[in-house]
Amino acid sequence: MPTTIAVTGRAEERIDPELGAVTLSVGAQGATRDEVFTRTTVAHERLLNEVRGLEASGALDTWSAGQLRVWSYRPWNSEGRQLPLVHQASAEVEVIFKDLARLGDWLGEAAGVPELSVNGVDWRLTDATRRTVQEAAQRGAVADALTKARIYASALGLGVPTPIELADHGLLSVQPLPGGAPKMLMMRTAAEVGGGGTPTAEFAPAQLVIEASVDARFTAEAA
């Protein structure tokens, strides 16, 4: 009677990011609605002009800008008293750099503008590179599972194990399915970004980590 061997295979690929997606907020607040709207509009248009210049220079992959929003509210002080009306305006802009050196320089300049807030940088890969690296991690996870199964079979004095079921980690059925077709589902990804605080002119983003995990069942018989 064949012995069933169940294992989990894991692998990861590390690669330098190719793109840096910067999310910014342009906004102002104050007691006068017209003044707040004007300050925000001017800052927003100045930012978009800079972004268009970056695009023309070839530094960007793409960019997008949200609509300008204006609203008002009455804050409360620590004594529970409602204060005078405050007006606020804001707009979101995402700029995706493919020239990461230029990204550092530009953020250093943007950090000094009062109406601008840098919400963060999301390090990314192009779609083509991501697919290639994902496939490498998936293949590595399957190879790891096969290596473990062979070790266990050898330790038990069994022959070469035969795969009968394969799935993403946590998705394998409770009972073995002899002869079932192997399945590979979407892997997990993780991005580790180094450094914190205010962006500076020099960036050293940590590598992106692409991970894959698979559960597998094998059968093996006495050698």
Q: Which domains does the chain have, with CATH numbers?
A: 3-16+128-220 (3.30.110.170), 19-124 (3.30.70)
Is 20 in a helix, a strand, or coil?
strand
Residue 203: band (very low, low, confident or very high) from pLDDT cuts 50, 70, 90: low
- Cβ count within 10 A of residue 73: 11
What are the tens digits of pLDDT across the range 30-46? Answer: 999 999 999 999 999 99
Amino acid occupying residue 142 = V
- Residue 191: its pLDDT value, please? 39
**Nearest residue to 214 via CA among 131, 128, 126, 147:** 147
Mean pLDDT of the chain: 86
Where do we find the tokens 């800052």?
Answer: 43
pTM: 0.75
Higher pLDDT, 172 or 5: 5
Higher pLDDT, 72 or 175: 72
What are the tens digits of pLDDT across the range 108-149? Answer: 888 788 899 999 899 999 999 999 999 999 999 999 999 999
